[in-house]
Each structure stands twice: as structure tokens, then as C-alpha cells.
Amino acid sequence: MEDGSHIISKFYRPGRWNREQILEEHHFLQDLKEEEIPVCTPFLFENESSLSLFQKGIYYSFWPRVGGRSPDELNPENLRILGRLLARTHNIGQAKHFEHRITLDSETYGIAPLETLLKGEWIPPSCKKDYLEVANRILDLFREKIETVPLHRIHGDCHKGNLLFGKEGWFFVDFDDCLKGPAVQDFWMLLSRGKEELEEREHILSGYREFKDAWFDLVEILRAMRFIHYSAWISSRFTTDPSFPVAFPHFAGNEYWEKETLELKEQYKLIYDSLGGKNFFSVTESTSTEEELTNKDFFGDLED
């Protein structure tokens, strides 16, 4: 453009979001911008809409190109600033409700991804029983812990790769996965694991509003659910996007799923340690001699 700025065109993959869902993302961003939260918002077309139809099922929008650098690490002062930024973002998120974006619940982040994996027959028989058993135990814990946690509009994919430092300071990008969910979903991916997490949590919460300690019981559960959700995402693109078999060459083989099953069990063990042992079964417990379970044992509407 004449002023030296640049415009980016964004095309939305068919079937990923519908028109109403995309517009709700844009409206959320506009709400944030109006309250002086540093975010990137799309330009409006002549009809005052931020979204236009390219051809059947394919929408597009225009955005300003923004610059910034992603952090390798976040120091205590950075975390306090981000705590304040997230507090403001969530305060605005509570002011209105999503009508069309998904809600982060056991169905959207657990049952539906598992059904996708089962229908595609991605999980090999050698791993299937253990993978499904531990996944369903994790979902049971999620249902228990989420009952008393408030849900509202959040970023939804708040990790360091979607965090930039630019002329206006820290700001988040890529609200594509914004949804209705618990505030802690926007925290845990910014934090380290282990002892460092506790210190970082204190720094980020020092800049935040009231936050109940019990809400952090969801952190490792959400991390485990992300394992499942991520595998389902790969499976949804693996046969239709030529770049996916190249990027994930082991996805269709036993090696990937043996590793995923082990990591999911280890994650469940970590959840057990943090919650005091409720609903725990040993990660080394062998069930190979028991009768093999079918899809129907886990999901009533599925058959092998």
C-alpha cells in the first residue's frame, strides 16, 4: 500500500468453519480492539462485513500484516504483563456469548476426536484397548472437574507460537480456534512443566484477576485431551492434504500409536499424582489377556 503497510488475504478451508463461526471470531476481535486490547482485526468490505465468499464453501478476508517476534522464554515481568493482558481479554470475553463457536467440553475435545480416530481405523489393534481405556478415564476426570468452572469466550490456542512482541508490546494472534471454554485453557500452554510451572503460575496470576486454585486441576487433563484432539486433527487431513503424510510419516503405523498410548498413560499417571490417586490404574498394567473390547464398548453408536 502507499503508506508502506501490507495486506494479507486469508482463505478459509471448506468445512472447517461456517460463516457464522468465522464472523463470531471477527466480532470477538473487534470487541477486544474497541477496549484497546492489541489484536489484529480484519478489514471491512464495502458491505460492512469482514467476510466475503470466494466460491461455494470458500470464504476469505483481508488483514493487515503485523510484525513481531515470538518469545523463546518468558521472564517474570513478561508473565505478569501477560496475566494482565489475559485478564482484560477474559473480562471482555465474559461480556458476550458465542452462539456458533464450539464449547470446549468432553464431546468436542474428547468423544468426537476419538470417534474420528475409530471411524478411520487409525488406532492399531495392539494399542486400541489401552488407548481408549485411558482416554475415557481422562474424560471422566474432565467431566468431574469442569462442573464448577465458568466458561466464556477465550483464545483457545494460547501458546507461545501465537504470542508476539511488537511495537505495541505483547499481543496474541491466530484466534481461529477461539471458543467457549475455561480461562485456564489460555494459561497452561504458556507455562513450563515441573517445578518451573508453579513459579511461572504465581507470576502470571499476580497480574490476573481472581483465579481459583481448583481451576488448575484442569491443566494436565486439558493437556491430555490435546493429545487426542491433535491426533484426530492429523487424521482429518492425512488423506486429503499431501503435506500431512510428509510431515507425519509415522502416523499410519504402529510406532506412532505405541508412543501416543504410552504418553497418554504417562500423562494420566501425572494427573493421578496431582489429584491424589482417584480413578487411577497402573500405566504398566497389562490387559492383553482380557477379552478385546470393540468400538461399541466405548461408544454406543459405533460398530467395528
Tens of pLDDT, residue by residue over 20-45, are 999 999 999 999 999 999 999 999 99
The domain of 87 spans: 76-298
Domain count, the chain: 2
The CATH number for 211's domain is: 1.10.510.10
CA distance 13 to 22: 11
Classify residue 131: in a domain, yes or no: yes
Q: Identify whether residues 163 and 194 lie together within a single domain.
A: yes
Strand partners, 12: none
In the numeric block, the cell 481405556 is attached to 133
pLDDT of residue 22: 98
Q: Identify whether residues 286 and 210 lie together within a single domain.
A: yes
- Average pLDDT, stretch 53-61? 92
- The predicted model scores a pTM of 0.86
Tell me the H-state helices in 35-161: 76-95, 112-119, 125-146
Domain boundary among 16, 38, 64: 64
What is the tens place of the pLDDT at every residue in 234-281?
A: 999 999 999 999 999 999 999 999 999 999 999 999 998 888 755 444
Q: Identify whether residues 52 and 84 lie together within a single domain.
A: no
Domain boundary among 64, 92, 112: 64
- Cβ-Cβ contacts under 8 Å for 177 (sequence gap 6 or more): 155, 156, 157
CB-based contacts of 165-168 (< 8 A; 24+ apart in sequence): 165/68, 165/69, 165/70, 165/71, 166/38, 166/66, 166/67, 166/68, 166/69, 167/67, 168/38
Catalytic residues: 157, 174
Q: Identify whether residues 158 and 119 lie together within a single domain.
A: yes
Q: Identify whether residues 32 and 121 lie together within a single domain.
A: no
Domain boundary among 34, 64, 94: 64
What is the tens place of the pLDDT at every residue in 128-168?
A: 999 999 999 999 999 999 999 999 999 999 999 999 999 88
What is the tens place of the pLDDT at every residue in 96-128?
A: 999 999 999 999 999 999 999 999 999 999 999
CB 86 within 8 A of CB 208: yes
Classify residue 70: in a domain, yes or no: no
What is the tens place of the pLDDT at every residue in 180-226?
A: 999 999 999 999 888 888 899 999 998 887 778 888 899 999 999 99
What's the chain's Rg over C-alpha atoms? 21
Top pLDDT among 304 and 87 is at 87
pLDDT of residue 193: 87
pLDDT at 288 over 70: no
pLDDT of residue 15: 87
Q: Identify whether residues 59 and 200 lie together within a single domain.
A: no
pLDDT of residue 118: 97
Q: Identify whether residues 31 and 89 lie together within a single domain.
A: no
In the numeric block, the cell 460492512 is attached to 48
